[in-house]
Chain A
């Protein structure tokens, strides 16, 4: 495999005494899309939260070749690890454009004054956001909110973008649009760690995949292999989902 942007080894995390993750090993290579699929409550969101330091965890997290002994959100964000959380966490009473500009806050602090150019790129990718740039983020539709969350993350020029359920609660056509954009981001050299319940679409777009069940890695392998694995088909893809196939391609 190419050099890993993110390497997680023996990661465990717990909510009180309830262990939510145990001994997870995961790695995302340069320019790859890696997906983590699994049922509700498998620990997917916990994995992302622990990786970025929102939750305390045990184990090794190595980002961009540096071991993070005590992962801290703001520090990791400064180094280019960006999370688009499941709840989006937008600044709802601020305009779309202000939300985007704040995405580049850490870069501004580090002395990079290129937010205007990045903003233009994000608007090119999401023309919809440009149309609504003066509107409050809270007035956007679900799909637009997701676009804004992704756009805001891109403003930070991530080395690795972690997307938590980007298709959650969105209409099928918008889901398709979101996955088209994920594929396009890879073209631009952004590495992506994608957590999804929509396993079909995630396995279409990803290079490598992990299946998480009850906080443990149940399966892993190249996405193209897992797509044809009978256990995955039975549990996550199901039969009679052909129309989903059509929508997600």
Chain B
């Protein structure tokens, strides 16, 4: 290995690491607020990438139908309850977001010349289709069992993950897809050639992380999510519903997932089941942060990305094995270091 190869591998590692960092942050967030280990995160990555790729072929992606079906189910469940308790303002809100919005989007997808739209609009459409699924799935799958143990929530996550992978195969077929790069530019920095795509990924990831930071530090809803993560009873006594916190959390997590999918689609060929491995690497990073620390999770993601890049050079057949083996020393170190957490007061 010479310097040039090392630099290229390092660049690869950092690019992937930036995406894993986004996913890891979403996993930490979801676990902190809802105690759900969000395994289906990877499916939203794949859905995001494949929906984008389908839009670019000019067809309406099948994921829109999933959105419509989920919307109808939520509208039925919540709509009937709201109508019974005669809360009309809530009813209108429910119908607007769960029925009107998906149908409007459906109409748009069939009316617009999808393949000819600029990249940015295609990206927004992709996010518009995938992201609302997060809160809807939270409502349908997790909310009825929100008070269950972490293990039961994990089992739910596995079930949802398997269902979504199956639906993915149905929607997109077994063929892999790749989207064109956001930027064809490349810059020479001495021995290193930096591709425009790498810069796009790294900078948008950094921008996302900064935006998340401001959301949690500066906005009332961000603070409400942190409050729910720190003290559930305390948050309820402030009038912060765990269900609302859960829906916002899933919104943010799905946004991150689908956006990562759009970012990664030009770099790697994405199949209907690729998301799982990508999500799992984010999970390894989140574990390095103990599912609790955001900065540690982000650093862990960078480590995972670099380790993956370099092991693909030295032992490419074992690169997944090496990355996932990393979790064992980390868990050992964590369990030796951790002290019994005592209840407050």
Contacts and interface: CB of A to CB of B under 8 A. Distances in A.
Given A92-B230, A94-B230, A102 B240 contact: yes
Interface in B11-33: none
Interface string A75-97: 00110001101011111111000
Contacts of A152: 238
B231 A74 contact: no
Contacts of B231: 89-92
B230 A91 contact: yes
B241 A101 contact: no
Contact of B240 (A82, A87, A94, A105): A105
B46 to A, nearest CB: 35
A29 interface: no
B344 A74 contact: no
A122 B124 CA distance: 44
A105 B238 contact: yes
A89 B233 contact: yes
Q: For the side of the interface on A, what is the size category?
A: 20 to 34
A105 B230 contact: no
A211 to B, nearest CB: 26
Interface in B200-248: 220, 223-224, 226-227, 230-231, 233-241
B345 interface: yes
Interface string A99-118: 00111011011000000000
A94 B223 contact: yes
Contacts of B230: 91-94
Given A92-B230, A94-B230, A85 B237 contact: yes
B233 A54 contact: yes
A91 B238 CA distance: 11
B234 A109 contact: no
A85 B234 CA distance: 9
Contacts of A5: none
B226 to A, nearest CB: 6
B344 A92 contact: yes
A78 B344 contact: no
B241 A74 contact: yes
B237 A98 contact: no
Given A101-B220, A102-B223, A74 B233 contact: no
Contacts of A52: 237
Contacts of A73: 236-237, 239
A154 interface: no
Nearest to B230: A91
A78 B238 CA distance: 9
- Which one of B239, B241, B344 has the highest number of Cβ atoms from chain A below 10 Å of its Cβ? B239
16 contacts: A52-B237, A54-B236, A74-B240, A77-B237, A88-B345, A90-B231, A90-B234, A91-B230, A94-B223, A94-B227, A102-B240, A105-B220, A105-B239, A106-B238, A106-B239, A156-B239
What are the 10 A-B residue pairs with the smallest beta carbon separation, nearest first?
A106-B239, A89-B234, A77-B239, A91-B230, A91-B227, A74-B241, A105-B238, A74-B239, A73-B236, A89-B233
Interface of B: 220, 223-224, 226-227, 230-231, 233-241, 344-345
Interface of A: 52, 54, 73-74, 77-78, 82-83, 85, 87-94, 98, 101-103, 105-106, 108-109, 152, 156
